[in-house]
Structure 1
Amino acid sequence: MDIVGICGSNRAQSFNRMVLNLAGECMPAPMTLSTLEWEAVPPFNADLLAKGFPDTVQALRERIRRADGVVIVTPEYNFSVPGMLKNLIDWISRGEDQPFAHKPLAILSATTGPLGGARVQYDLRKIMMFMNAATMVKPEVFVGNAAQKFDADAQCTDELTRKFVTAQMTAFKSWIERQQRANALA
């Protein structure tokens, strides 16, 4: 099962990148995670789109289209979705053939504060619902106080966090299988 990971933070030592890596470690077989790098995506501009998708955007769209599922792990900026992540989603969502339609999706968030990103997940779920993504609702994973749950080598030291992420990735495998069966019947 080919899973694409998107980190909502491009910061080198992002706790969300650490959680995304943890999700990859916690995936049951035969799931495998590859992380998209998207720093080169330009700001969305309809004039630029009128000339065609930039190569960087087109490559990301095709990679998502080929994947069996997508995992997005993102911080919460100002109670919502980080601007650059929203920009990426805006680019990917353009066109009749946008690749998030019916794509199984899992969302996680991590913050250094106690709430763990509950508000960003609410807003991200609304955005992905508009794109008709098959967003898994439960189990939810909010990693609060993330700085206390990872060591200097970016390894998770909190067994409860690892347990929650493992439970979500196990449920995501089943979610993907259900979505694949439903799509085959459609």
Structure 2
Amino acid sequence: MSEPILLGISGSLRREATNRKLLREAARLFEPETFIEADLNLPLYDGDLETGAGIPDAVQLLADQIAQADAIIISTPEYNKGPSGVLKNALDWVSRTTGHPWMDKPVAVMSATGGRAGGERAQMILRSFMVPFQPRILQGPEIHLADSSNEFDADGRLSSDRYENTLRRLMQKLRAEAGS
């Protein structure tokens, strides 16, 4: 098998979001030949929009990226004890595309939040959102990055060996699931 394509999906739109930093650290440790960071800046799902104009190009691109990826990492913030609306909206849109882009894809879920639980509830809910898509979600090791704004150095690298070692183990497991 050739080197895997890794797709990263951040539930935060902010360019310097800690979830984006966590994705980039995961990609660094996964060491893919190709890492794609998905763009979730999508219109809100609207059945009238879908009926009138079809699937937006940006949504189809995301579905195609999911289908083409050999492995996927999703990093979610926790807003009001759940995943972000941005991430849920993307999942809702992708569910409307043809085919089953998530089917049997190895997926690692992680979270970075300002709170002390590190997004544990958001991850649990996100995992339940993924059930209809039938990916192969890794069960651990779990990454719940608490107080995330203080966990990265100036270069965007994790500053704690504990988190980096756990993330390395998760990425090794994801790489094995991807078959490389």
TM-score normalised over the length of structure 2: 0.91
Q: Secondary structure at the match of 1:172?
A: helix
| Structure-1 residue corresponding to 2:23 | 20
Structure 2 counterpart of 1:83? 85
Q: Which residue of 1 is the match for residue 49 of structure 2?
A: 48
CA contact (8 A) 2:60 2:97 kept: no
Query: Unaligned 5+ residue runs, structure 1?
Result: 179-186
Q: Which residue of 1 aligns with 2:127?
A: 125
Q: Which amino acid aligns with 1:48?
A: L
For the Cα contact (< 8 Å) 1:31–1:173, is it kept in 2? Answer: no
Contact 2:114 2:146 in 1 (8 A): yes
Cα offsets for 1:110-168 (capped at 9, x unmatched): 11222111001100000111211111112111111212211233222111111111110
Change (3 A) 1:45 1:112: same
One of 96, 101, 104 as aligned partner of 2:103: 101
Asked if the contact 1:36/1:60 (under 8 Å) is kept, the reply is yes
Q: CA deviation at 1:27?
A: 0.7
Residue 105 of structure 1 and its aligned partner are, at CA, apart by 0.8
Deviation at 1:36, TM superposition (A): 1.0
In 2, Cα distance between equivalents of 1:45 and 1:98: 20
1:65·1:100 contact (CA, 8 Å) conserved in 2?
Answer: yes
Q: Residues 108, 145 of structure 1: CA spacing in aligned structure 2 closer, same or farther, 3 A cutoff?
A: same
Residue 162 of structure 1 aligns with which residue? Answer: 164
**Alignment length (residue pairs):** 176
Aligned-residue RMSD, C-alpha: 1.6
CA shift for structure 1 position 32: 3.9
Give runs of aligned pairs for residues 136-151 of structure 1, distance below 5 A.
136-151=138-153
2:68 aligned with 1:58, yes or no? no
Q: Matches of 2:175 and 2:133 in 1, distance apart?
A: 21
Q: Percent identity?
A: 34
Q: Could you say which residue in structure 2 is the equivalent of 1:183?
A: none
Deviation at 1:7, TM superposition (A): 0.6
Letter in 1 for 2:6: I
5+ long unaligned stretches in structure 2:
none
Is residue 71–residue 107 contact of structure 1 (8 Å, CA) maintained in 2? yes
Tell me the amino acid that sits aligned with residue 105 of structure 2. K
3-state SS of paired residue (2:179): helix
Q: How far apart, CA to CA, are the structure 1 residues paired with 2:104 and 2:126?
A: 16
Contact 1:24–1:32 (CA under 8 A) maintained in structure 2: no
Q: What amino acid is aligned across from residue 21 of structure 2 in structure 1?
A: M
> Given the superposition, is the C-alpha separation of residues 57 and 96 from structure 1 closer, same or farther in structure 2, using an over 3 Å criterion?
closer
Letter in 2 for 1:71: I
Structure 1 residue 98: deviation in Å? 3.0
Q: Which residue of 2 aligns with 1:181?
A: none
| TM-score in terms of structure 1 length | 0.88
